[in-house]
């Protein structure tokens, strides 16, 4: 895992001045080694995190005659196979995946990207052609952002904060995704003029012009699966086992699993059998305490379980750091995850996680609503009344757009129309209501979860790997008929049948899964009924983000928090008053 930066322009003096500052802004991503190169028209830089290979390398990575070079963030798990498929004549300096990538891209260009099984964001420069290739992995596990400065120079980086070392931050008040989701998703970000590459996309930059192409999208590689449950259970089990083997074979015992108490993390842990297990524990009753389920996994594996027990004071003390890490206002599990990764980093460099399972196997309970509606459509007695059903329920796309619009009363008609068009696009591409909902969430909700995981893990130089996002698992899941995803009201039906082979039965049969949500409403008395209050956390996250990146104010105390640390801002917010080049607050 690493961080990459680059500039394309004819102003060499400006590039020499800006690139080191951009790289320093993401130095946490690569504490092992930094390096850069300046040529007549481009500059590339990379901060490298050594997982297995501790030797120093030339950065950027070059081919034999130094006619092309690469900076790269991520991991290609099948690089041995990719190397074996190259034409004879390449000369390799070592056995790393990065060395394989340099030669694969030299030989095949963008086509090489389609052969990769992994997570990555890369920049490959062909000096002879004067052509830059930027690429991002299929699922979007690794980010790459780009912008142009006032001179027209193209700048790109693994994190937005690196771009802010070269351009002044400006608020994008027209970010429609933030209006409806309360996070930014897609190409636009909350920073005006700064864009995100899309998952499964590559961009060719030539003579100053950008040309974007999608080399993969969810559902491109559907399979013809047999409608036979035992066969499907065995095939999925084999796929998951192989995906986990690929992601752990180069890290020996230097990896861990976070155990949330749910199926996904338990299944990965029980297949991978890590030496280290971590869970977050809030001792506030059954609504927040999933410790007994995590302990079941630890007992099954006969491994110790490390409990991380965050406090209200921890929340206040880490708010500025989390805002700075994420680059964007994000709520949900960011605080719990930050505390988990901070502890895990003392022991390991790699985490296996369960991102993606809910989207592709229909794990979210909200999916039950539209799935139930579709079952009514399919009743024999109702087939001739299709027009009445549509009149009563409306189209599935409209219902789902309303369901996932977190700010319907505030977003406005323009944002609502944008969301409906987005949902319709995914539903049209993916027949079947469960596939349509899953694809919508894959490209929206899941993207912010992946961004959050990447940013927080890299704050502590830890690499996160997600076996469910192996493209073979994605193809399998998206090829399943709906009844293997939800069956008689049971979500993730087929995945649960696989889980029965590996994990404790009480976890398989859970219907009260909670995740890593922090009990902020209890701590700060936001809701007398003890229910999750998204609006209060949303406002805090947005305010912290504005304080960190725009210097609007210091980090403000949370209402209801009366500890000593709440009475002052700890200096974290005030330390971030220079918007053109944000610096990390103290931990």
What is the rounded CA–CA span in Å between residue 521 and residue 32?
40
Residue 248 sits in which domain range? Answer: 229-360+445-508
265-323 pLDDT per residue, tens: 999 999 999 999 999 999 887 777 789 999 999 999 999 999 999 999 999 999 999 99
Q: Tell whether 370 is covered by a domain.
A: no
Q: Tell whether 561 is covered by a domain.
A: yes
Calculate mean pLDDT across residues 120-129: 95
- Residue 553 banded pLDDT, cuts 50, 70, 90: low
Phi, psi of 126 (to 5 degrees): -100, 105
Calculate mean pLDDT across residues 111-127: 97
Phi, psi of 150 (to 5 degrees): -65, -25
Domain boundary among the residues 508, 538, 562 is at 508
419-466 pLDDT per residue, tens: 999 999 999 999 889 999 999 999 999 999 999 999 999 999 999 999
Calculate mean pLDDT across residues 388-395: 77
Same domain, 192 and 286: no
Same domain, 287 and 172: no
Same domain, 54 and 116: yes
Q: What is the CATH number of the domain that holds 275?
A: 3.40.50.620
pLDDT recorded at residue 95: 86
Same domain, 64 and 186: yes
What is the rounded CA–CA span in Å between residue 501 and residue 233?
10
Quote the percentage of the chain above a pLDDT of 70: 90
User: Which of 388, 176, 351, 131 lies closest to 254 in space, CA to CA?
Assistant: 351
Domain boundary among the residues 484, 508, 532 is at 508
564-579 pLDDT per residue, tens: 333 333 222 222 223 3
Q: Are 166 and 18 in contact (CB under 8 A)?
A: yes
Calculate mean pLDDT across residues 388-398: 81
Q: Max CA-CA distance within the chain?
A: 75
Calculate mean pLDDT across residues 474-485: 97
- Residue 556 banded pLDDT, cuts 50, 70, 90: low
Q: Tell whether 414 is covered by a domain.
A: no
Calculate mean pLDDT across residues 409-417: 83
Q: Tell whether 516 is covered by a domain.
A: no
What is the rounded CA–CA span in Å between residue 140 and residue 453?
12
Same domain, 208 and 241: no
Same domain, 203 and 282: no
Give pTM, 2 decimals: 0.92
Q: Are 171 and 190 in contact (CB under 8 A)?
A: yes
What is the rounded CA–CA span in Å between residue 281 and residue 301?
20
What is the rounded CA–CA span in Å between residue 154 and residue 209?
10
User: Which of 359, 354, 357, 356 lies closest to 438 in space, CA to CA?
Assistant: 359
pLDDT at 532 over 60: no
- Residue 332 banded pLDDT, cuts 50, 70, 90: low
pLDDT recorded at residue 289: 76
pLDDT recorded at residue 574: 25
Calculate mean pLDDT across residues 340-361: 96
pLDDT recorded at residue 76: 96
- Residue 582 banded pLDDT, cuts 50, 70, 90: low
Domain boundary among the residues 486, 508, 530 is at 508
Instruction: Give the range with max mean pLDDT: 111-125, 246-260, 529-543.
Output: 111-125
Same domain, 470 and 356: yes
- Residue 111 is given by DSSP the state G
Same domain, 284 and 347: yes
* 3-class DSSP assignment, residue 408: helix
Same domain, 177 and 207: yes
Q: Tell whether 355 is covered by a domain.
A: yes
> Mean pLDDT across the chain, nearest whole number?
88
Distance of alpha carbon 443 from its chain centroid, rounded?
A: 10
Same domain, 31 and 77: yes
Q: What is the CATH number of the domain that holds 144?
A: 3.60.20.10
pLDDT at 366 over 90: yes
Q: Which residue has better confidence, 367 or 534?
A: 367
Q: Exposed (0-12), middle (13-18) or buried (19+): which is 299, by Cβ within 10 Å?
A: exposed
Which residues are CB-neighbours of 53 under 8 A, at least 6 positions away? 94, 96
Q: Tell whether 399 is covered by a domain.
A: no
Domain count, the chain: 3
Same domain, 95 and 154: yes
Q: Tell whether 403 is covered by a domain.
A: no
What is the rounded CA–CA span in Å between residue 312 and residue 397?
40
Give the range among 285-294, 305-314, 342-351, 550-559 with minimum mean pLDDT: 550-559
Same domain, 7 and 91: yes
204-262 pLDDT per residue, tens: 999 889 999 999 999 999 999 999 999 999 999 999 999 999 999 888 778 999 998 89
Q: Tell whether 276 is covered by a domain.
A: yes
- Residue 48 banded pLDDT, cuts 50, 70, 90: confident
């Amino acid at each position: 895992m690493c961080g990459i930066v680059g500039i394309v322009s004819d102003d060499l003096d400006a590039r020499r001045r800006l690139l080191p500052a951009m790289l320093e802004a993401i130095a946490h991503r690569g504490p092992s080694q930094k390096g850069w190169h300046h040529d007549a028209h481009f500059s590339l830089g990379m901060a490298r995190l050594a997982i297995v290979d501790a030797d120093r390398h030339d950065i950027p990575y070059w081919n034999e005659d130094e006619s092309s070079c690469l900076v790269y963030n991520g991991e290609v798990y099948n690089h041995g196979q990719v190397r074996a498929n190259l034409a004879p004549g390449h000369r390799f300096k070592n056995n790393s995946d990065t060395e394989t990538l340099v030669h694969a891209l030299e030989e095949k260009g963008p086509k090489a990207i389609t052969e990769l099984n992994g997570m990555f964001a890369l920049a490959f420069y062909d000096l002879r052609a004067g052509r830059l290739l930027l690429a991002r992995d299929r699922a979007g596990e690794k980010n790459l952002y780009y912008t142009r400065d006032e001179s027209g120079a193209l700048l790109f980086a693994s994190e937005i904060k690196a771009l802010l070392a070269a351009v002044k931050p400006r608020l994008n008040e027209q970010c429609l995704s933030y209006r409806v989701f309360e996070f930014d998703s897609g190409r636009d970000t909350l920073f005006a003029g700064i864009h995100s590459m899309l998952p499964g996309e590559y961009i060719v930059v030539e003579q100053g012009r950008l040309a974007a192409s999608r080399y993969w999208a969810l559902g491109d590689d559907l399979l013809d699966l047999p409608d036979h449950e035992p066969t499907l259970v065995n095939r999925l089990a084999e796929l998951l086992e192989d995906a986990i083997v690929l992601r752990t074979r180069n890290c020996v015992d230097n990896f861990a699993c976070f155990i949330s108490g749910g199926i996904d993390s338990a299944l990965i842990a029980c297949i991978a059998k890590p030496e280290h297990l971590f869970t977050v524990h809030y001792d506030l009753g059954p609504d927040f305490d999933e410790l007994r389920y995590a302990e079941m996994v630890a007992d099954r594996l006969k491994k110790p379980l490390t409990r991380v027990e965050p406090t209200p004071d921890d929340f206040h003390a880490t708010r500025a750091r989390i805002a700075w890490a994420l680059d964007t206002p994000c709520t949900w599990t960011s605080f719990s995850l930050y505390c988990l990764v901070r502890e895990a980093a003392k022991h390991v460099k790699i985490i296996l996680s369960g991102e993606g399972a809910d989207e592709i196997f229909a794990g979210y309970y909200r999916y039950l609503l539209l799935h139930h509606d579709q079952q009514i459509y399919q009743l024999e007695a109702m087939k001739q009344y299709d027009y009445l059903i549509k009149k009563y329920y409306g189209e599935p796309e409209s219902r789902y757009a309303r369901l996932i619009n977190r700010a319907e009363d505030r977003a406005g008609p323009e944002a609502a129309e944008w969301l409906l068009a987005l949902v319709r696009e995914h539903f049209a591409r993916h027949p079947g209501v469960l596939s349509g909902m899953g694809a919508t969430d894959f490209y929206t909700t899941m993207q912010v979860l992946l961004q959050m995981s990447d940013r927080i893990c890299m704050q502590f130089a830890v690499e996160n790997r997600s076996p469910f996002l192996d493209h073979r698992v994605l193809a399998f899941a998206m090829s399943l008929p709906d009844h293997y995803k939800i069956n008689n009201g049971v979500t993730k039906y087929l995945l649960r049948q696989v889980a029965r082979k590996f994990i404790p039965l009480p976890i398989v049969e859970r219907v009260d899964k909670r995740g890593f949500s922090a009990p902020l409403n209890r701590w700060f008395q936001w809701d007398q009924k003890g229910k999750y209050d998204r609006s209060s956390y949303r406002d805090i996250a947005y305010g912290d983000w504005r304080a960190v990146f725009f210097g609007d104010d210091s980090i403000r105390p949370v209402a209801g928090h009366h500890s000593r640390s709440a009475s002052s801002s700890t200096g974290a917010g005030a330390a971030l008053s220079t918007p053109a080049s944000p610096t990390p607050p103290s931990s």
